[in-house]
Amino acid sequence: MAPVSPAADEVAIEVHGLGKSYQLYEKPVHRMLQSLVGHRHRFYREFWALREVGFQVRRGETVGIVGRNGAGKSTLLQMIAGTLKPTEGTVAVRGRVAALLELGSGFNPEFTGRQNVYLNASILGLSRAEIDARIGDILAYADIGEFVDQPVRNYSTGMVMRLAFAVIVHVDADVLIIDEALAVGDAFFMQKCMRYLREFCKRGTMLFVSHDGGAVTSLCDRAVWLEHGKVQRAGDARTVMESYLQAALIERQGIVGGRAPKAPSPTSNSARRVDARQELIDRSILRNDIHVFPFNPSEEGFGEYRARVTHVQLCKPDGQPVSIAVAGECVDLEIEMCAQAYMHSVIVGFYVKDKFGQLLFGDNTALTTEEGFSVRADQRFRARFRFDMPRLCPGEYFIAIGVAEGSQEQHVIQQWLHEALRFSAVGGAIASGLVGIPMLDVRLELTLHDQ
Ligand SMILES: Nc1ncnc2c1ncn2[C@@H]1O[C@H](COP(=O)(O)OP(=O)(O)OP(=O)(O)O)[C@@H](O)[C@H]1O
């Protein structure tokens, strides 16, 4: 996957022509018959879980592996981690590898947590003295209390995960191989794991299986998208994730949500709920200005193009275009389109995403459009979303727009623009997290003691 061949010592992982096949038997008896007749007759069907996969990962790179269920992600990582033997091809990994791929693998259920730490850490290459020196930190990190001296078979899934992760954190691995699906347990521990992984990425090499595009774009330099056991696309994480998302949108319903039979009145429930501190914030250095860049008409995006987006803008509710929106202010996102052919059941949607491609929020017209909203060729039409601009941390943001035709179950994307509008948020946003929402009431007060 690297564009230029790096020097050998710069390569941490090298996978070449990798493949794994399984023999699938329709009935258990076929397996027995196979063992009796040897190669003279085939009672099985050969199934390649992975085939002809090749790429390199440089030292210090973080690579995300994405793909739908059954695409071969775990198979690939298990072969790289050395826990599964390839049917063909080679894997070379330089440095100490620690993997978290299968919950509890490498743990003996009859051993206590403490004994398993010794077992696991020694498999990963630590000496007895090194483990003695680190056991306190490992157990403190896992934070499973008195369970450390209980057999692991009595542990909850979350406890096994905590212990396994705590070991990984303390073995000075050069290469980490992690299946994000294993980040089970409570939200606090997950956050702790993610913080560690983010820190690790800055110095180590990591392969990271994820079902969450946001995590890949924010954590990874590069991504490999697997489809039916083969590399569908590999390269820069954001580009790969965009194509992956694109394919998922085309295949699934994408922006199409549930459809209501009749549009509700636009005036119902329209009372604005404004942040209680809005005026105060706007008069202070905490004011959060969002610069809105003009619509980029040159982006083609993808789709069947029975409709094209001709203009996208952010306006004030009176229709005045906005070039600087203030967070908390009510704005309209207006999307102008032109049908290229007759379209039945039109739905328009948008996503706001950050520069890593993480989706922050989005919506579509499905619930407020009468069923069968149709347009004829050359007809111009418009979608409008009125919302309060959320508080955004300083940085770059994009609005993706989609126009689709069809039903919830079956639909076709007509045009999808990844970056129809660009925002740049400046100012001391008080929001923490991805977006800040209006705080309707914020207070700190003394409470009365019990009488
Ligand atoms: N031991 C096995 N015997 C037969 N088929 C297997 C075996 N292990 C995996 N497979 C098949 O290989 C394919 C790839 O599986 P793998 O677990 O690598 O996919 P994955 O991308 O990790 O999926 P998921 O996202 O669901 O975890 C699947 O079709 C799976 O059913």
229 CA → ligand 1 middle, Å: 9
pLDDT of residue 222: 93
Between the CA of residue 153 and those of 92, 255, 336, what are the distances in Å?
Answer: 34, 44, 60
Q: Which of 20, 31, 69 to mutate to test the pocket of ligand 1 (most atoms within 8 A of CB)?
A: 69
Same domain for 96 and 199? yes
Residue 450 in any domain: the answer is no
Ligand 1 pocket residue status of 22, Cβ below 6 Å:
yes
37 CA → ligand 1 middle, Å: 28
Same domain for 211 and 327? no
Q: Which of 25, 74, 87, 226 to mutate to test the pocket of ligand 1 (most atoms within 8 A of CB)?
A: 74
pLDDT of residue 289: 84
pLDDT of residue 241: 85
Q: Whose CA is nearest to atom 28 of ligand 1?
A: 70
Ligand 1 pocket residue status of 49, Cβ below 6 Å:
yes
Same domain for 339 and 408? yes
In sequence order, the 6+-apart residues with CB closer than 8 A to the CB of 69 are: none
Ligand 1 pocket residue status of 73, Cβ below 6 Å:
yes
Final residue before a domain boundary, out of 233, 251, 269: 251
**Per residue of the chain (451 residues), what is the pLDDT tens digit?**
544 455 666 899 999 999 999 988 877 887 887 787 777 788 788 899 999 999 999 999 999 999 988 899 989 999 999 889 999 999 999 999 998 887 767 788 999 999 999 998 998 889 999 999 999 999 999 998 889 999 999 988 888 889 999 999 999 899 999 887 666 556 667 767 877 888 898 889 999 887 666 678 778 889 999 999 999 999 998 889 888 877 876 665 444 444 444 444 444 444 566 777 777 777 677 778 889 999 988 888 889 999 999 999 999 988 889 888 888 889 999 999 999 999 988 999 999 988 777 888 999 888 776 667 889 999 999 999 999 999 888 888 999 999 999 866 677 899 999 889 999 888 766 667 788 888 888 888 788 765 5
Residue 383 in any domain: the answer is yes
Q: Which of 45, 47, 80 to mutate to test the pocket of ligand 1 (most atoms within 8 A of CB)?
A: 47
Residue 441 in any domain: the answer is no
Ligand 1 pocket residue status of 70, Cβ below 6 Å:
yes
Q: What is the 3-state secondary structure (H, E, C) of the chain?
A: CCCCCCCHHHEEEEEEEEEEEEEEECCHHHHHHHHHHHHHCCCEEEEEEEEEEEEEEECCCEEEEECCCCCCHHHHHHHHHCCCCCCEEEEEECCCEEEECCCCCCCCCCCEHHHHHHHHHHHCCCCHHHHHHHHHHHHHHHCCHHHHHCEHHHCCHHHHHHHHHHHHHCCCCCEEEEEHHHCCCCHHHHHHHHHHHHHHHCCCEEEEECCCHHHHHHHCCEEEEEECCEEEEEEEHHHHHHHHHHHHHHHCCCCCCCCCCCCCCCCCCCCCCCCCCHHHHHCCCCCCEEEEECCCCCCCCECCCCEEEEEEEEECCCCCECCEEECCCEEEEEEEEEECCCECCEEEEEEEEECCCCEEEEEECHHHCCCCCCECCCCEEEEEEEEECCEECCEEEEEEEEEEEECCCCEEEEEEEEEEEEEEEECCCCCCCCEECCCCCCCCCCCCCCC
Ligand 1 pocket residue status of 210, Cβ below 6 Å:
no
CB 295 within 8 A of CB 334: no
CATH number (domain holding residue 372): 2.70.50.60
Ligand 1 pocket residue status of 342, Cβ below 6 Å:
no
**What is the position in ligand 1's atom list of the atom closest to the CA of 78?**
18
Same domain for 295 and 234? no
**What is the position in ligand 1's atom list of the atom closest to the CA of 24?**
4
pLDDT of residue 25: 84
CB 377 within 8 A of CB 339: yes
83 CA → ligand 1 middle, Å: 14
210 CA → ligand 1 middle, Å: 15
Q: Whose CA is nearest to atom 10 of ligand 1?
A: 49
101 CA → ligand 1 middle, Å: 13
Residue 204 in any domain: the answer is yes
Ligand 1 pocket residue status of 75, Cβ below 6 Å:
yes
Q: What is the token pair recorded at 375?
A: 């347009």
Ligand 1 pocket residue status of 72, Cβ below 6 Å:
yes
Ligand 1 pocket residue status of 253, Cβ below 6 Å:
no
Same domain for 302 and 203? no
Question: For 13-42, b where at least 16 C-beta lie within 10 A, e where not — what string?
Answer: bbbeebbbeeeeeeeeebeeebeeeeeeee
pLDDT of residue 49: 95
Q: Whose CA is nearest to atom 1 of ligand 1?
A: 22
Ligand 1 pocket residue status of 67, Cβ below 6 Å:
yes
pLDDT of residue 450: 58
**What is the position in ligand 1's atom list of the atom closest to the CA of 67?**
21
74 CA → ligand 1 middle, Å: 7
Residue 273 in any domain: the answer is no
- Report the 10 Å Cβ neighbour count for 80: 25
CATH number (domain holding residue 45): 3.40.50.300
Ligand 1 pocket residue status of 51, Cβ below 6 Å:
no
Residue 259 in any domain: the answer is no
Q: How high is the ipTM of this complex?
A: 0.97
CB 217 within 8 A of CB 357: yes
Same domain for 237 and 314? no
Same domain for 49 and 124? yes
Residue 352 in any domain: the answer is yes
pLDDT of residue 33: 79
Identify the sign of the CA torsion 126, 129, 135, 136.
negative
d(CA 179, CA 215): 12
| Overall domain count for the chain | 2
Range of the domain at 400: 278-431
Residue 49 in any domain: the answer is yes
β-sheet bridge partners, residue 396: 424
pTM above 0.90, yes or no: no
Contacts by 39-46, CB closer than 8 A, 24 or more apart: 46/21, 46/22
**What is the position in ligand 1's atom list of the atom closest to the CA of 76?**
18
| Closest-CA residue to 79 (of 207, 165, 186) | 207
Final residue before a domain boundary, out of 216, 251, 286: 251
pLDDT of residue 262: 45
363 CA → ligand 1 middle, Å: 34
Same domain for 290 and 191? no
Same domain for 235 and 334? no
Same domain for 204 and 319? no
Q: Whose CA is nearest to atom 11 of ligand 1?
A: 49
Same domain for 15 and 91? yes
Same domain for 291 and 169? no
